[in-house]
Amino acid sequence: MTPPSNNLIALEPKKVPAYVEAITESGGQIADLGANVKALIWTDYSNPQLLQQTLDQNPQLEWVQLPFAGVDAFSFLLDRPITFTSAKRSYSEPVAEHALALCLAMARVIPERVRATSWGRQFADSLFDEEVLIIGGGGIAEQLAKLLVPFRSNVTVCRKRPTEPFMPGFSGQIVGFEQLDEELAKAKFVVLACALTDETRHLMNAERFELIRSDSYLVNVARGEVVNQEDLVSALKSGAIAAAATDVTYPEPLPEDHPMWQLENLIITPHSADVLAMVTRLFADRLRVNVAAWVSGAELTGRVDSKLGY
């Protein structure tokens, strides 16, 4: 990449103070959008149409930094001749922690303990020496694999491109999606941590809930649509799976009359794996890295591959 003609950087639509500080400390200069501003940091989590409009009005833009790790909401924009970077891998630590918290909450039957008004049954499952299947081979998978090391869990990562580099020192196995069904039948814990793409939409459906171990625990920290929610409800009711926990649903927020709220073996967290305070700090860290790279003409971190969709 050739060095940019200047260090002017637009920060839109919200000039979050932590981001202003990160940009200026890294050699960038905050500027209003205009003909000589080639870089845009986009800080809105809810309105991709506003970004579309901004891009239409600013054909000079060469680099756009998106605020999410997953870019599915922006997929209709990614074909433009612009370098898009996402926040991928930025928020992996808190999301992996949330996935672990949900695994342990199910293993230690915390929902049953929370509802109890008397001493309960002696029951607990453990992650020690257990089979854990992580679907998706990105930053969350790497961070979760790190958190699982002291548990000696037998970790299998199922990803689109199994031969690509994964975490250095990883001692588990890496397989492609053609082995997913086989691995689902073995795992005690299944964690969904993949991008939402045409291939992963409704990946967990009725057929796969038949394959899964009936004593297994499912965690979704990916996107709601990776699971067919109707099929999940059936599987939880029939006992095809012991319990599930999801940080994501469709739609979000999940309506109050949705049957998922009624299931005792389902934990729903409101997309709170990486809450704003965590995200702000971690996104500012990413901005420091990328603004410094942009200003010096170095490689940007988190480039989006529009064909892969992440």
Query: So which residues are the catalytic ones?
Result: 271
Query: In whole angstroms, what is the distance from residue 186 CA to residue 131 CA?
Result: 7
Task: Kindly tell me which of 102 and 157 has the beta carbon lying closer to its own copies.
Answer: 102
Task: Kindly tell me which of 50 and 116 has the beta carbon lying closer to its own copies.
Answer: 116
SS3 111: helix
Residue type, 171: S
Q: Give the count of residues interacting with its own copies (CB under 8 A).
A: 49
Say whether residue 89 binds its own copies (CB under 8 A).
no
Query: In whole angstroms, what is the distance from residue 210 CA to residue 153 CA?
Result: 24
Stretch that binds its own copies, among 51-59, 92-100, 162-170, 191-199 (CB under 8 A): 92-100
Q: How far is the CB of 217 from its own copies (least distance, A)?
A: 13
Task: Kindly tell me which of 216 and 246 has the beta carbon lying closer to its own copies.
Answer: 246
Q: How far is the CB of 170 from its own copies (least distance, A)?
A: 13
Helices (H), the chain: 17-25, 48-57, 92-107, 110-115, 139-148, 180-184, 206-211, 229-238, 276-296
- Please pick, from the candidates 149, 233, 263, 292, the single residue that binds its own copies as defined by CB under 8 A: 149
Say whether residue 179 binds its own copies (CB under 8 A).
no
Say whether residue 307 binds its own copies (CB under 8 A).
no
Instruction: Output Rg (C-alpha) for the chain, integer angstroms.
Output: 21
Stretch that binds its own copies, among 20-28, 53-61, 170-178, 250-258 (CB under 8 A): 250-258
Three-state secondary structure readout of 185-219: CCCCEEEECCCCCCCCCCCECHHHHHHCCCCCEEE
- Please pick, from the candidates 5, 46, 117, 163, the single residue that binds its own copies as defined by CB under 8 A: 117
C-beta separation of 257 from 231 below 8 A? no
- Please pick, from the candidates 16, 185, 233, 268, the single residue that binds its own copies as defined by CB under 8 A: 268
Stretch that binds its own copies, among 104-112, 176-184, 209-217, 231-239 (CB under 8 A): 104-112
Phi, psi of 197 (to 5 degrees): -135, 180
Say whether residue 170 binds its own copies (CB under 8 A).
no
Cα first-last separation, the chain = 20
Residue type, 105: A
- Residue 268 region by backbone torsions, left for phi larger than 0, else alpha for psi between -120 and 50, else beta: beta
Task: Kindly tell me which of 121 and 307 has the beta carbon lying closer to its own copies.
Answer: 121
Say whether residue 111 binds its own copies (CB under 8 A).
yes
Residues making contact with its own copies (CB under 8 A): 93-94, 97-98, 100-102, 104-105, 107-108, 110-111, 113-124, 126-128, 146-147, 149-151, 252-254, 256, 261, 267-276, 278
